[in-house]
Structure 1
């Protein structure tokens, strides 16, 4: 199991059931598992299932023909490894600009979502935001998931803490997700754009024994710690402006998204979005996983615990001797063996016919 997955799993679960320095009393605090989605930028090939059966991708009896001559319908029942998954039904109709800009502002949308959630909770309690902070703390841990179409979704565990106990109903999350927006400035002949979360919002309570348990959530969230944008088919390095995109080992859909990043990044009004530097991430520059300060432990503390545990195991099994902290363990030593001719002196001596000492090394010295 990858160490990053293990660390993220323990971080998420400690925030749900306690441990790693988190009190077990958090199990009595209301927790939600929230998925924030991206809006649609055009129909793409998808794999849909119902009761274990795979459904047709985009069946349309009276399917329209797009301006580029493609019929916007697909009756295929895609396999999970099908390369067409995530590809637009018509690449020329797909909104590549909107996809890149949404990824670029997704971190800002999350920040405004969290701020709006706190403000709405304060309003429900009849408090000012400052007064609410003395009674209620909104803690969270989230991860970003790349969809096959190249946009990010955010999965978050949101927990309400505070001395007053459970005081907030779940509808506050629905309100916060619906009201926040992020604006992209006008550029060239394009007007100012307003981007927001998609209409699909999944909000489910987390329980200790039920459909959505703490273990299931921790495992589900942690698996995205080991994934990046590779499911879209992009690469794991930065792409330079002027680079030959046709030579990149990527799918055409990913290549178009990367090209759009480079095009938008060259526009002065959009320079703050830094989509050129993050073209390999399709415009998304947020960290794959973040948490609020009070949610749980840190990955650094988890790594330190793992290292200490491994060291204690080595001492117990005899693989590592038990030493005091101030003990200096000498594993080698150096000894001066003498100095011979330098390379220049050796050359002069050789030309003059002076025999070289048998102990003189060719590089003028030796140590062992």
Structure 2
């Protein structure tokens, strides 16, 4: 139906003005819904929203991908974003921060839960015997950089004052939601350079603790330091959490394995009690020299005196179970520096720092990191790039190689599960060789061993997601395979008995709202 031109038709002009008057009475969100409802390709846009799981900041891709047969060069499948709404395809941002994207952070927390849980109870490629290995749940804190207000009963009020005129105590009872919690009693007495430098060196402190733990295990077991690594292996995973005062502390799971990893039992002398003693002594002994700078008085960087360690033996740690520990660690992967009242974006200048809507304490920490980052002797710490993180430069979660599975393996397993054809009740299993093409990657599916001629499914992943009640990648397709050969395998050009690997040619870029393009890395998105 052709609409009348409101510039020429008085009736159409009146209808247009009445519609605009009704739209002005709506909120911005409601007007946006009206605009979306008038899109000609609304259904495809909804398919993309469902496929990304409702991602708050999706990455927009533009380009094309062509799958060719390796032997014949035949075009098996071609996909281009030109037919998509706006000429672009949306994929998940995969941001772990809940402040940026609640959907992707929830998925990342779920992956972290399974990653840590498999290191505690086994599964996903980890032997079930790890639950019988000595394990500890450890919390390592930062030292004191000055008195701060604390939740509950604060510091006892005293008559004395510091040299700057500040009180030595508070005497009040602070609830957990009190904005004063974590703020220094006297900002002039607080060691801001030491605080920022400790955050910057915290990853190095963790590595030094893990290396030093071998020495303390050797001392208590009565073996040489050069021999202990051939007898036992320390596997660990740790997550960083920001305290209210802005310092980082670590929650870690430490496990003792045999020399060959989780599949080998540790020596008989490697008990939970010995590991507990070694952790306490290693935390107290580890120390690193402070970076040499005139902005700080130097000294040694150490962990705080508050150390919490709980043994986890045979899947039962008393008040801490394996699932509870995994959930506790996973919870903090979705949080970041905003837990301390800071921001999750990088700073560009001191003027921007002064305009931040944060507390005076957090602004002083960010400004201190910015100023320290300008010193030539601290350039290697890249403090200006990480000023918004209060100097901390490490990853949120790290683990040793042998502790458990990896994020990549978990995501690949979820991708295979989403791409696997689902058989309805009463439906006959019709095998085919399929190839799921996602972006510029190809993931082999089920092998062909029954029939050849199958109807190719229509490329409508949104409808499939609605029918099956789960999300699937939008960029998803299937190609049929050749005729089966005796023995149940498929022979193609290449090594006999092996499936042909199609050649995938793609040209994909990331495009923002302003039309700017940048290279697309599928490993990051």
State the TM-score, normalizing by the size of structure 2: 0.58
CA distance in 2 between partners of 1:324 and 1:124 (Å) = 58
Select 1:206's aligned residue among 312, 326, 333: 312
Cα distance per residue 1:200-238 (max 9 Å; x no partner):
111110142322211111111111111101011111111
Displacement, 1:119? 1.8
Change (3 A) 1:326 1:249: same
Tell me which residue corresponds to 1:68.
Answer: 164
User: 1:242-277 CA distances to partner (integer Å, 9 max, x unpaired)?
Assistant: 443221122211100001001111111222222111
Shift of 1:80: 2.2
Equivalent residues in 2 for 1:16-27, closer than 5 Å: 16-27=120-131
Unaligned runs of 5+ in 1: 49-55, 333-368
Query: 2:113 — aligned with what?
Result: 9
8 Å CA contact 2:140–2:307 kept in 1: the answer is yes
1-structure distance, mates of 2:146, 2:323? 35
Find out whether 1:185 has 2:291 as its counterpart.
Answer: yes
Give the Cα separation in 2 of the matches to 1:249 and 1:30: 46
2:269 aligns with 167
1:81 deviates by 1.9
Could you say what secondary structure the match of 2:173 adopts? coil
Q: CA RMSD in A?
A: 2.3
Q: For structure 1, which segment, 131-140 or 196-205, has the greater mean C-alpha deviation from structure 2 after superposition?
A: 131-140
Aligned to 1:57: 154
Q: Distance in 2 between matches of 1:151 and 1:197?
A: 11
In the other structure, the counterpart of 1:325 is 434
| 1:263 aligned residue | 371
User: Cα 1:72–1:21, aligned 2, differ >3 Å: closer, same or farther?
Assistant: same
Deviations 1:86-131 (A, max 9, x none): 1111222211111101001101111110010012222333434443
Contact 1:144–1:224, Cα closer than 8 Å, also in 2 = yes
**TM-score, normalised with respect to structure 1:** 0.81
Q: Does 1:274 align with 2:394?
A: no
Equivalent position of 2:303 in the other structure: 197
Q: Of 158, 163, 166, which aligns to 2:254?
A: 158
Q: Aligned-pair distance for 1:166?
A: 4.7
Where in structure 2 are the equivalents of 1:294-309 lying within 5 Å?
294-309=402-417
Is the aligned partner of 1:315 residue 2:419?
A: no
Output the CA distance in 2 between the equivalents of 1:224 and 1:275. Answer: 23
Is there any run of 5+ residues in structure 2 with no aligned partner, and where? 1-102, 259-264, 437-455, 461-525
Instruction: Report deviation, 1:68.
Output: 2.3
Alignment counterpart, residue 43 of structure 1, candidates 121, 141, 147: 147
| Aligned residue among 132, 136, 148 for 1:28 | 132
In structure 2, distance between residues paired with 1:300 and 1:81: 37
Distance change (3 Å), C-alpha of 1:158 and 1:152: same
CA distance in 2, matches of 1:103, 1:164: 34
State the aligned residue count. Answer: 321
- Aligned structure 1 segments of 4 or more residues deviating by more than 4 angstroms: 326-332
